[in-house]
Amino acid sequence: MITFTHSELCDIGEKYLRKTIGCKVTAKEIKSMINEEPDVIGFKSCHSFLLEAKTSKSDFLADKKKPFRINSQEGIGDFRYYICEKGLIKIEDLPPKWGLIYVNQKCKARLVCGNKQNVYSVSKWKMKKDINAEWYILFSLARRVCYKLGNKYY
């Protein structure tokens, strides 16, 4: 049995969002002006996908106590998923509308619970969210791109 680090799960999750979901913009472990620091976030069209990487059951249980988890409309992500080693989190332990992605020993991510269709706008899995918090993240990403490109006016 392989035990993944948090960073490895984030790398696998970002790859999953890009290749499986089709997100064109992704970021992992991003810090911005908002309270929530997503492990992985991706944007596809007008939808956002949040992945929270968990390496232990205690980390998962602690995550449920965060204010933006208790009041889900204060969180980010139209679609939210936990990503973990296979079997660490059980489907019945998930908060309402959360999906679950298992990572196997070959580092492959597989959706076991959540939106399995590509019909995102009418999905029962879609969450209410803090759109302003997502804008802060997007602005933060844009500033970083401008900085890397040498734009002095960011």
pLDDT in tens, 43-86: 998 899 999 999 999 999 999 889 888 888 999 999 999 999 99
Pairing of strands 109-113, 79-85: unpaired
pLDDT at 1: 58
Confidence of residue 121 (pLDDT cuts 50, 70, 90): low
pLDDT at 117: 60
pLDDT at 116: 73
Domain residue limits, the chain? 6-149
Per-residue pLDDT reduced to its tens digit, 87-113: 999 999 999 999 999 999 999 999 999
Per-residue pLDDT reduced to its tens digit, 14-23: 999 999 999 9
pLDDT at 153: 55
Per-residue pLDDT reduced to its tens digit, 132-150: 999 989 888 888 787 777 7
Largest CA distance in the chain: 50
Dihedrals phi, psi of 83, to nearest 5 degrees: -120, 130
Per the prediction, the chain carries an average pLDDT of: 89
Residue 124 DSSP symbol: T
Q: Are 41 and 123 in contact (CB under 8 A)?
A: no
Pairing of strands 98-103, 79-85: parallel
Instruction: For the full predicted model, state whether its pTM sits above 0.75.
Output: yes
